[in-house]
Amino acid sequence: MPIIETIPNVSDGRRPDVVARLVAAVGATPGVRLLDHSSDRSHNRSVLTMIGDGPALKQAILALYEAALPLIDLRSHRGEHPRLGAVDVVPFVPIEGVTMAECVTLAREVGEAVASRFGVPVFLYEEASANPARKNLEDIRRGEFEGLTAKMASPGWAPDFGPATPHPTAGASVIGARLPLIAYNINLNTDRLDVARRIATAIRHSSGGLRYVKAMGVMLEDRGIAQVSMNLTNYEKTPIHRVFDLVAREAARYGVSVLESEVIGLIPAAALVGAAEHYLQLERFGPSQILETQLRSPSS
């Protein structure tokens, strides 16, 4: 069975009864497994993480809209995190036995259904967007709910699906497909925050570095060491080993070495297998050679 992950971000993180009803709506969908949900008061935002196949996740997301729209009114929503809509962002992530192209198709189907059933305009993003200027979530969300009417009236900002103006209370949604994010930190053998910051500047995409790296330098006060804190947004195209090697090389420039690295949360096995393949110079190797893959393949 194909496994897809979706992580809808909803614009309420302060009313536990509302969040509970959204969680219940999703959880009641057959074939969907809710892995996690968390709410942030200052962001006033909740994130639900679930897996299933395409049809099950489509049902779950529609059930989420059904539950959320009567309960969330963006006109009175305040929070630190930028947002466009009640159901703000819905990414679909290929996990196993499914291609990115299939997740793109799913994102489009869900976007179309959300627009037609609920009258909420939908912007496609990342892999689901065919428009290079509308792939990046930050670009689409710039101006937020408050600026949405003006933005949608400006050239190039008609939605991919649905009405040409925002939904009065639910704004708009950003729906798309992307690879899993990897939260990856490299700790340096130094207490110099400036070194971590210079390395972050050197390696991140926004300032000229690797295409799928977001990075900043931070200080781990309790340990007295500096850290390059990163998000890797496409481990297939910007693999973790290349990020590690480049950070180590940049650090050496300042006479600093890498103390250790760490993965925060989850990482796909393929990202680590890719690193092993690289350093071991493995050739002629395929996923079918991993014992666990064999165990789960259909009986021969």
294 binds its own copies, rule: CB under 8 A: yes
Closest residue by Cα to residue 37 from 25, 28, 49, 26: 49
Closest residue by Cα to residue 168 from 110, 120, 106: 120
Q: How far is the CB of 300 from its own copies (least distance, A)?
A: 7
Do residues 189 and 257 make contact, with C-beta atoms less than 8 angstroms apart?
A: yes
Asked if 81 is an active-site residue, the reply is yes
Q: How far is the CB of 199 from its own copies (least distance, A)?
A: 15
Closest residue by Cα to residue 57 from 2, 127, 15: 2
List binders of its own copies among 174-233 (CB under 8 A): 180
Q: Which of 43, 81, 205, 278 is catalytic?
A: 81
Helix (H, G, I), strand (E, B) or coil at 52: strand
Tell the residue number behind the tokens 């490299």, with chain if given: 186
Q: How far is the CB of 66 from its own copies (least distance, A)?
A: 24
What residues are paired with 91 via a beta bridge? 176
Q: How far is the CB of 85 from its own copies (least distance, A)?
A: 28
249 binds its own copies, rule: CB under 8 A: no
240 binds its own copies, rule: CB under 8 A: yes
Radius of gyration of the CA atoms of the chain, in A: 21
Closest residue by Cα to residue 175 from 83, 232, 235, 104: 104
85 to 104: interface string for its own copies, x by CB under 8 A: ----------xx--------
Which one of residues 15, 33, 197, 198 is an interface residue with its own copies (CB under 8 A)? 33
Closest CB to its own copies among residues 158, 264: 264
Q: Tell me how far apart the alpha carbons of residues 97 and 137 are, in angstroms, rounded to a whole number.
A: 26
Q: Which stretch binds its own copies (CB under 8 A): 56-64, 83-91, 205-213, 254-262?
A: 254-262
291 binds its own copies, rule: CB under 8 A: yes
Following DSSP, what letter does each residue of 175-186 receive, concatenated? EEE-PPPEEEEE
130 binds its own copies, rule: CB under 8 A: no
Which one of residues 35, 133, 150, 252 is an interface residue with its own copies (CB under 8 A)? 35
236 binds its own copies, rule: CB under 8 A: no
Instruction: Give me the phi and psi of 53, to 5 degrees please.
Output: -90, 175
Q: Six-digit token pair at 97?
A: 């036995």
Output the CA torsion sign for 53, 270, 102, 57: positive
Q: Which stretch binds its own copies (CB under 8 A): 13-21, 39-47, 225-233, 266-274?
A: 266-274
Do residues 143 and 82 make contact, with C-beta atoms less than 8 angstroms apart?
A: no
Q: How far is the CB of 119 from its own copies (least distance, A)?
A: 35
Q: Count residues contacting its own copies (CB under 8 A)?
A: 42
Helix (H, G, I), strand (E, B) or coil at 252: helix
Residues that bind its own copies (CB under 8 A): 3, 33, 35, 51, 95-96, 180, 240-241, 244, 258-263, 265-269, 272-277, 279-285, 289-292, 294-295, 299-300
Catalytic positions, written as ranges: 81
